[in-house]
Amino acid sequence: MLNGTIMVLMTMFLKFHLKLALTNKTTIENLDKKGEEYLSVYDIGSGRNWEQIFGINKLLWPFPVFCGSGKPLGDGIYWPSNKGDESARSLNSASNENQRKQQVAG
């Protein structure tokens, strides 16, 4: 009985956080907009959102390794967005492309 309850709760927890990761939202944003459908400014597509979190090397996704191609995309300050300042977006995409090239080469 207890194992089943824990399994159900952990499945719900996993489903919730996968949804947040694929839509590039935070828990705070989700709670703030509870009950409303909205598109996060930082939602750049589920595939790119996932790479932004786990890096581009699919073999390293299950492991918490942050070196070379396993490093998440971005610099932690500037994030690509689906709208907003075009100069910041081009800077982000150029920075991410350079980082992607370095990770593939390294």
For residue range 9-68, list pLDDT tens digits in order: 999 999 999 999 999 998 898 889 887 888 888 899 999 999 888 888 888 888 877 776
- Asked whether residue 89 carries a pLDDT value surpassing 90, the answer given is no
Q: Please, is 60 exposed, middle or buried when counting C-beta atoms within 10 Å of its C-beta (0-12, 13-18, 19+)?
A: middle
Q: Which domain holds residue 97?
A: 2-105
Write down the pLDDT at residue 52. Answer: 86
* 1-5, 82-86, 95-99: least confidently modelled range: 95-99
Distance CA 43, CA 99 (A): 20
Query: Average pLDDT in the 72-92 region?
Result: 66
Which has more pLDDT, 89 or 99? 99
| Per-residue tokens: 60 | 């390293």
Q: How many independent structural domains does the chain possess?
A: 1
- Asked whether residue 98 carries a pLDDT value surpassing 80, the answer given is no
C-beta neighbour count of 77 within 10 angstroms: 7
Per-residue CA distances from 70 to 16, 17, 51, 60, 99 (Å): 24, 21, 10, 6, 11
Write down the pLDDT at residue 13. Answer: 95
Q: At what angle do helices 46-54 and 2-23 cross, to 10 degrees?
A: 110
Which has more pLDDT, 3 or 73? 3
